[in-house]
Amino acid sequence: MTLLRIATRGSRLALAQSRWVAVRIEAALGVATELVAVRTSGDRLQDVSLAEVGGKGLFVKELEDALLAGRAELAVHSAKDLPARLPDGLVLAAFPERADPRDALVSGGRVRALAALPRGARVGTGSARRAALLRAQRPDLQVAALRGNVTTRLDRLDAGRAGDGALQAVILACAGLDRLGLAERIDERVDAGVLLPAVGQGVLAIEARAGEPLAEDLAALTHADTARAIAAERAFLARLQGDCNVPLAAFAEAVGPARLRLRGLVARPDGRRVVRGEAEGADPAALGDEVAEKLLAQGAREILAALRAGAAP
């Protein structure tokens, strides 16, 4: 094969990430690449909550359809957008080295830390996880729903200098800002102990058709520690059957040559209860299951059941 077509979302960030992957594929495999921009349902439905229309999987489905239909040979995703289950016939073939997994406070220079935001400050986020943890950490803040790509969210912050709807800060992913060359916009890289990252945050996932030689060839791009961490985080996600309606988080990191530490949590949307757990182990899948079971035993089961029933947990 002399040309690999890479399915990607058409946002500025997605294209930057896919170009980054394309350069590494060309160097590792010695083949030319071409980006195939696909507009996903998640990109089209900017005026509604993701939780109302199917979750973050809407950023993935059309890219996977392009793979299954043969319009592309691989797809590049932000790993945090991937549902716990993949369609039949597809496989996650590679995970390059993780970028900064932390959340970023962007305030336009108003403050330099989340703790320094004034009481009643209005903070924008499109993430159920971030919203719940902000409310848990700072119940005095006003958390505002915010959709759109990175540039749109920054523009909303920059435009609102006064008025009831003005934002004093937004919470975004450090990795996305770094990849766009916007690291200078970050006022604080928030410690993971304060805002535990989403499953897969900071990681790019390369998806391909199962059973094809390309899927094996792409493994050359995998960073071993990143792949092990993602395996633990995604096992946690799968055990809890999590989606974007659920404020949950999981972050794994190496603590030795063959051991991982996994921290996880499930929260009520209002932040009034956050169930946390952690463990260490050598088997990523077993570790993800272990931390998930700890949370279920401590009250996450009731929170999840209430969320799925549409009731207040």
Give me the active site residues, please.
81
Number of domains in the chain: 3
Residue 119 shares a structural domain with residue 185: yes
Crossing angle between the packed helical segments 224-240 and 284-295, to the nearest 10 degrees: 40
The 10s digit of each residue's pLDDT in 169-207 is 999 999 999 999 999 999 999 999 999 999 999 999 999
- Which residues, including other chains, have CB under 8 Å from residue 172's CB and lie 6 or more apart? 103, 104, 106, 150, 153, 154
Query: Which residue in 197, 146, 154 sits closest to 177, CA to CA?
Result: 154
The 10s digit of each residue's pLDDT in 129-155 is 999 999 999 999 999 999 889 999 999
| Type and span of the H or E element at 7 | strand 3-9
Give one DSSP letter per residue of 230-242, joined into a string.
HHHHHHHHHHHT-
Residue 45's domain comprises: 1-96+203-222
**How far apart are alpha carbons 26 and 204 in whole angstroms?**
17
Residue 31 shares a structural domain with residue 90: yes
Residue 256 shares a structural domain with residue 110: no
Given a cut of 80, whether residue 43 has pLDDT beyond it is no
Given a cut of 70, whether residue 209 has pLDDT beyond it is yes
Residue 234 shares a structural domain with residue 292: yes
List 266's β-bridge partners, or say none.
248, 275
Residue 120: band (very low, low, confident or very high) from pLDDT cuts 50, 70, 90: very high
Asked whether residue 116 is assigned to any structural domain, the reply reads yes
The per-residue pLDDT of the chain, averaged, comes to 92
Asked whether residue 197 is assigned to any structural domain, the reply reads no
- Which residues, including other chains, have CB under 8 Å from residue 285's CB and lie 6 or more apart? 231, 232, 235
Residue 247: which CATH number?
Answer: 3.30.160.40
Query: Which residue in 302, 287, 275, 308 sits closest to 237, CA to CA?
Result: 287
Residue 20 shares a structural domain with residue 82: yes
Cβ count near 112 (within 10 Å): 11
Residue 77 shares a structural domain with residue 159: no
Residue 249 shares a structural domain with residue 289: yes
Q: Name the one residue in this structure whose structure tokens are 């079971």.
A: 293
Residue 257 shares a structural domain with residue 137: no
Residue 164: is it exposed, middle or buried by C-beta count within 10 angstroms (0-12/13-18/19+)?
Answer: exposed
Residue 67 shares a structural domain with residue 211: yes
Residue 164: band (very low, low, confident or very high) from pLDDT cuts 50, 70, 90: low
**How far apart are alpha carbons 20 and 2 in whole angstroms?**
19
What SS3 class is residue 202?
coil
Residue 211 shares a structural domain with residue 243: no
Q: Which bin fits 61, alpha (ψ -120 to 50), beta or left (φ > 0)? A: alpha
Asked whether residue 195 is assigned to any structural domain, the reply reads no
Sort strands 74-78 and 3-9 into parallel, antiparallel or unpaired.
parallel
Residue 250 shares a structural domain with residue 110: no
Residue 53: its pLDDT value, please?
A: 46
Give one DSSP letter per residue of 75-106, joined into a string.
EEEEGGG--SSPPTTEEEEE-PPP---SEEEE
**How far apart are alpha carbons 197 and 171 in whole angstroms?**
12
Residue 148: which CATH number?
Answer: 3.40.190.10
The 10s digit of each residue's pLDDT in 49-68 is 445 444 556 779 999 999 99
Asked whether residue 313 is assigned to any structural domain, the reply reads no
Q: What is the pTM of this model?
A: 0.92
Q: Which two tokens stand for residue 306?
A: 């209430």
Asked whether residue 198 is assigned to any structural domain, the reply reads no
Residue 240 shares a structural domain with residue 125: no
